[in-house]
Amino acid sequence: MKICIPTETSQGLKAPLYGHFGSAPFFTLADTETGNVEVRDNQGQVHAHGACHPAGALEGLGIQAVVCGGMGLRALQKLEEAGIEVYRSGALTVEDVLREIGEKRTEKLTAEGACAHHKGCR
């Protein structure tokens, strides 16, 4: 499975998770089958609340899931409409997220758990 993890830095597996999906400086992409990891700048990190286009930012990358600390409702809905599953994690690094996924300890993010004006995000 190819996963997108919003991160604070471009340090690959050691990169710390960023607290909110849309404004993350980087997207770290990890393939759980091959072990490949790549990092991309988040071109849309500066945006008005509710104005990010997450499905567009990930379009064509083969992303099947996003694992993050928090996400707004509109972003969650847009990703789900694009067929991308969204999970919440309290992990500190990409490496920790991948461990959680392997151990099936991530929780699906629901509309009730989405951030409201960045409240509720870690």
- Segment 18-37 shows an average pLDDT of 92
pLDDT tier at 100, thresholds 50, 70, 90: very high
d(CA 72, CA 64): 19
Instruction: For residues 72 and 82, give the distance between their C-alpha atoms in angstroms, rounded to a whole number.
Output: 16
Tell whether the model's pLDDT for residue 64 goes beyond 90.
yes
pLDDT at 84 over 60: yes
> What's the mean per-residue pLDDT of the chain?
85
Domain 2-113 part of CATH 3.30.420.130: yes
Q: Which helix (H) or strand (E) holds 27?
A: strand 26-31
What number of other Cβ atoms are within 10 A of residue 82's Cβ? Answer: 13
pTM recorded for the entire structure: 0.86
For range 47-75, the mean pLDDT: 77
Domain boundary assignment for the chain = 2-113
**Pairing between β-strand 85-88 and β-strand 65-68 as defined by DSSP bridges:** parallel
